[in-house]
Amino acid sequence: MDNQAQILPGTLDLLILKAVSLGPLHGYGVLLRIEQISRGALLVEQGALYPALYRLVRQGLLKAKWGVSDNNRRAKFYELTAGGRKRLREEEDGWNRLAAAIGSALKARPEEV
Amino acid sequence: MSFLHSFRTLVSSLFHRSKVEREMEEELRAHIEDRAADLERTGVSKTEAERRARIEFGGYQRFKEECREVSGTHFLEALLQDLRFGMRMLGKSPGFTAAAIMTLALGIGANTAIFSYVDAWLIKPLPYPQAEKLMVFLAHDRKKGWTNNSVTSTADFLEFQHLNTSFAETAAWAGWNFNLTGDGPPAFVEGGRVSWNYFETLGASPILGRTFTAEEDKPGGDHVAVLGQGLWQSRFAGDPGIVGRTIKIDDETYTVVGVMPGTFQFPLMGIANLWTPMALSDKETADRNSSWFSAFGRLKPGITQRKAAAESEAIFARLEKEYPQTNTNVTSEVRSMIEEIGKNEGTTQVMICFWIVALILLIACANVANLMLVRATRRVKEFAVRRALGATKGRLARQVLCESLLLFFFGGVAGALFGAWGMKWIQSAIPDRVRGYLVNYGEVNLDFTTLGFTLGIALLCGLVFGLAPAFEGSRADLNAPLKESSGQASESGRGARLRRIFVGAEIALAVVVLICTTLLVRSFLISVRSSPGFNPANVMVAQLQLPKTRYRQEETMRNFTEQVLERIRALPQVVSAGAASSVPFGGFGQVALIAAVGKTVPKAEERRAARFTVVSADYFSTMQIGLIRGRGFTSEDAPGSSPSAIINQTLARQLWPNEDPIGQKIQYGEQHNIATIVGIVTDIKMFQLRARPERQMYVSLTQFPSPTLGFVARTADHSTEMATAIRDEIWAVDRDQPVSAVEPLHTLIMVTDAGNLVLTELMVFFGVIATLLGAIGIYGVMAHQVQQRTHEIGIRVALGASPVQIVRMVLGQGMKLAGIGVVVGIAAALGAARSLASLLYSVTPNDPLTFTSVALLFGLVAAAAGYLPARRAMRVDPVVALRHE
């Protein structure tokens, strides 16, 4: 488990939006998708997923619909709204900028200073 | 719209709460089950998989709570929780809760009761269609300044009716008493003579038959009558065939053409049950000097009161030019009927009550806010614990606010009950005769408007006055109180200051209320104690009107009067008896123009009028009206001999300022009769206890028999048997002669003064409440302070402070507070009392006696309210107080 990282505060929403953008998912599916797309590197506290999902629904970024899951059970599926898609793009850009900035900062060598 | 939308979401989320909850549960469970299934697939046992799945999920309840919170229904949920919790907290301190609710019930209830009258009389429209279009015409003399509720003259009115373009209809009316005979005992029926379009102009229609036609409003065709439902039912047993039936009015035959519903009313006229057409004679229609009726009109659509008034002014200006003899300075005002009725209903009085109860509500609220502040200090520890457990400041503030709202809500409910009782009390205090002049006969109900008002002010006050305690409560410091071992949580400096401000304001308000109420009560006491000029005790009064048909001759009238007087005098209980054309407080009187003969005759417009009464020889002695000079009427004043007159002091002083009036001649009335003055009597009040002295003159009933008569009898008792006996004596002389209720003169005075009595009783009540609440306020603050300072006082005593010093210290603080409150209150009262001026009698708005005694009273109240806490402080045992530590 040592190679797994706790996700940074504030990034859970981004991850959820990304996961759902790849196709409608139910709650457990979101968890699995995040693990899958991060190649198991990111650890989401499972219960914490739900307050985040509810909040995103309330903010109008996700919409929830009841459907049937693979194992033939009634399940609540989340999908992106237009607002959600827009927000995802913004967050992605922001993240990339931040990551690039931090990356370049960390690559700095003494002679560059 | 967006408000409506969010309200709908709120409601649906409230009602669908269980569904949302179920789905949330289902979703979270499914997650755990899915996870367990996945784990099981990796080879773990089923029970172990389930256990691991639950652990991985984390705090199930916590996440569920968080979900609820973010999904938005949380606020209401919390509110319900706060309310439930608030209820529990209130239930836990029943003493505080009861005290607060009772205080609020008094304050809110008083407002409910008074508001119901404001609503019924000042806000609600008159019970006619488009009542705001109804205007009354008042005669006004620019030079003399008087305004009269009748038309300027009959001819003027008819001309105005013809010329104006502002009014769709104009109608005339006059209150009238009818003698109804046949179909049972003779009855004295109150009603009116009205123009044919009177009912239509008001917008009222009969329940049976029809109203009058224009043809019937002319001499000759006018023997038709409309009955009121009450009379129709009581006297004619609701005969469905009443229309077309003939009845006897004043001994003449009238045909009933219609019946008006019981709800029909015309508060300007008073109670009415019978109407006949006015049928003005040719002589009357040409009369430019006088009139005997009043009039009103309905504005045409689109015409405003101002426009109509301007037109009326123009018409009367023209009449003034055309008829300078009669119309100089005379004009007619156009006033809203609603306002005119409001005057009868005591708009000023009602509004003053309304302001006073508003002040009382403020006092009550300040008191309750103070109680809540004290409670907040006592609960500092509780709040600290709850903050430590994670409650936010906002949540704590909301909690205290919720408690306040609950408290005020219950106060409002109790207040509505108390107010409903108060309304009924006020209503029962208004005599029936007065009620006829009130909209809906004075009927006032606890309707939705009033209830809405009550709950509205309750919740508004709860919010406003709950803010301070809520703020205080939410400031709870996490650590300080928990560290204090003694539990003697100290109040924040600001909390204490706030409480002192509240109490100071409360005392100031109470002083204002008490000064205003005292002024009104004093006016009332002075007016009822002042002599009306006669002695009303043990006098019975019977009023009647002799119909012209049977009493055309003076002789028959004279005989009737003398026979009745003789029979009444013969009754064993009767000490003396007299008769007059009109009696004080009988609601009826005559006026005559007068002039001193031999003096330069003043110009027409400067002629003076005097109250004119025809009286029997025994009238003055029976009424105990004081004879100042000369003699009363005697057998000398017989028919045929030269007329004698008796005048009152005011008339004597005004007409013969520097001469002896006895022996002078006075000219009076339209026929310019001349009489010799034989005596001077004291001034008497004829209609109002608070009336100013007026000119009065009397002539002899033997010389000038009168068709309107009031018999007065001074008796040993005034039981109903006495009343019946007097009525029977009248019927023994003429069994067809209706008589008004035979009543003690005292009752007649009480009826006319009922409004003042009700106002006074309310004022006494309001004054007592204000003083009481003020006293409770001072007591509360001081008791709390002593409790807070027990420790400090203990130290002072230990260091040698004497009990007297301690008492002085504690009392001194309370007195200082009271002193500031009283000073501010007196300053405010100086301004406020000025608006009472029109209701005061023989008392100035800044009556020094009232102001000083109220100030002194509040000093005493403050001392008394501070005494108990001060005594407690004095008895503080230093050992106990210090061990408290």
Q: Is A73 part of the contact surface with chain B (CB cutoff 8 Å)? A: yes
Q: What is the nearest CA distance from A47 to chain B, expressed in angstroms?
A: 5
Q: Is B56 part of the contact surface with chain A (CB cutoff 8 Å)? A: yes
Q: Is A68 part of the contact surface with chain B (CB cutoff 8 Å)? A: no
Whole-structure pTM value: 0.76
Tokens of B816: 């200082």
Contacts B71 to A, Cβ<8 Å? 54, 57-58
The DSSP annotation for B164-226 comes to -SSEEEEEEEEEEEEEEESSSS-EEEEEEEE-TTHHHHHT---SEE----TGGGSTTS--EEE
B156 neighbors B327 (Cβ within 8 angstroms): yes
Q: Residue A51 and residue B35: Cβ atoms within 8 Å?
A: no
Q: Is A57 part of the contact surface with chain B (CB cutoff 8 Å)? A: yes
pLDDT of residue B364: 94
Best of B6, B13, B21, B31 to disrupt the A interface (most A CBs within 10 Å) is: B31
| DSSP 3-state of B260 | strand
Tokens of B239: 């005969």
Beta bridge partners of B540: B713, B744
Q: What is the nearest CA distance from A70 to chain B, expressed in angstroms?
A: 11
- Closest chain B CA to residue A78: B27
Q: Which residue numbers in chain B have pLDDT < 50? A: 1-3, 5, 485-489, 605
Q: Is B220 part of the contact surface with chain A (CB cutoff 8 Å)? A: no
Q: What is the nearest CA distance from B392 to chain A, expressed in angstroms?
A: 20
pLDDT of residue B602: 57
Q: What is the nearest CA distance from A57 to chain B, expressed in angstroms?
A: 8
Neighbouring C-beta atoms of residue B87, cutoff 10 Å: 15
Contacts B60 to A, Cβ<8 Å? 47
Q: Tell me how many residue pairs between chain A and chain B have CB atoms under 8 A apart.
A: 59
Alpha helices by DSSP H, listed for B209-304, are 229-236, 282-285
- Closest chain B CA to residue A43: B56
Q: Is A5 part of the contact surface with chain B (CB cutoff 8 Å)? A: no
| DSSP 3-state of B92 | helix
pLDDT of residue B2: 46
d(CA B755, CA B879): 62
Q: Is B70 part of the contact surface with chain A (CB cutoff 8 Å)? A: yes
Q: Is B71 part of the contact surface with chain A (CB cutoff 8 Å)? A: yes
Q: Is A55 part of the contact surface with chain B (CB cutoff 8 Å)? A: yes
Query: Given B34, B63, B69, which is nearest A48 (Cβ)?
Result: B63
CA atoms within 13 Å, Cβ hemisphere of B741: 12
Q: Is A27 part of the contact surface with chain B (CB cutoff 8 Å)? A: yes
d(CA B602, CA B589): 25
Q: Residue B70 and residue A74: Cβ atoms within 8 Å?
A: no
Sequence-separated (6 or more) residues with CB below 8 Å from residue B485: B885
Query: Given A47, A55, A69, which is nearest B70 (Cβ)?
Result: A55
d(CA B99, CA B87): 15
Best of B34, B68, B69, B71 to disrupt the A interface (most A CBs within 10 Å) is: B34
Best of B27, B33, B42, B75 to disrupt the A interface (most A CBs within 10 Å) is: B27
The predicted-structure confidence for B783-832, as pLDDT tens digits, reads as follows 888 887 888 888 888 888 888 888 888 888 888 888 999 999 999 999 99
Q: Is B482 part of the contact surface with chain A (CB cutoff 8 Å)? A: no
B4, B17, B18, B204, B414 from B8: Cα distances, Å: 6, 13, 17, 44, 31
Contacts A66 to B, Cβ<8 Å? 23
Give φ, ψ of B336 to 5 degrees: -70, 135
A5-112: CATH number: 1.10.10.10
Per-residue DSSP letter, B152: S
Query: Given A28, A47, A57, which is nearest B30 (Cβ)?
Result: A28
Q: Is B60 part of the contact surface with chain A (CB cutoff 8 Å)? A: yes
Q: What is the nearest CA distance from A80 to chain B, expressed in angstroms?
A: 17
pLDDT band at A9 (very low <50, low <70, confident <90, very high): low
Q: Is A51 part of the contact surface with chain B (CB cutoff 8 Å)? A: yes
Give φ, ψ of B386 to 5 degrees: -70, -35
| DSSP 3-state of B787 | helix
A27 neighbors A44 (Cβ within 8 angstroms): no
- Closest chain B CA to residue A49: B63
Contacts B59 to A, Cβ<8 Å? 47
Query: Given A48, A58, A76, which is nearest B72 (Cβ)?
Result: A58
Q: What is the nearest CA distance from A99 to chain B, expressed in angstroms?
A: 29
Q: Is A71 part of the contact surface with chain B (CB cutoff 8 Å)? A: yes
Q: Is A46 part of the contact surface with chain B (CB cutoff 8 Å)? A: yes
d(CA B8, CA B30): 30
Best of B67, B68, B74 to disrupt the A interface (most A CBs within 10 Å) is: B67
pLDDT of residue B493: 67
Q: Residue A55 and residue B31: Cβ atoms within 8 Å?
A: no
Query: Given A47, A58, A76, which is nearest B59 (Cβ)?
Result: A47
Query: Given A26, A50, A69, which is nearest B67 (Cβ)?
Result: A50
Q: Is B58 part of the contact surface with chain A (CB cutoff 8 Å)? A: yes
pLDDT of residue B604: 52
Give φ, ψ of B547 to 5 degrees: -70, 140
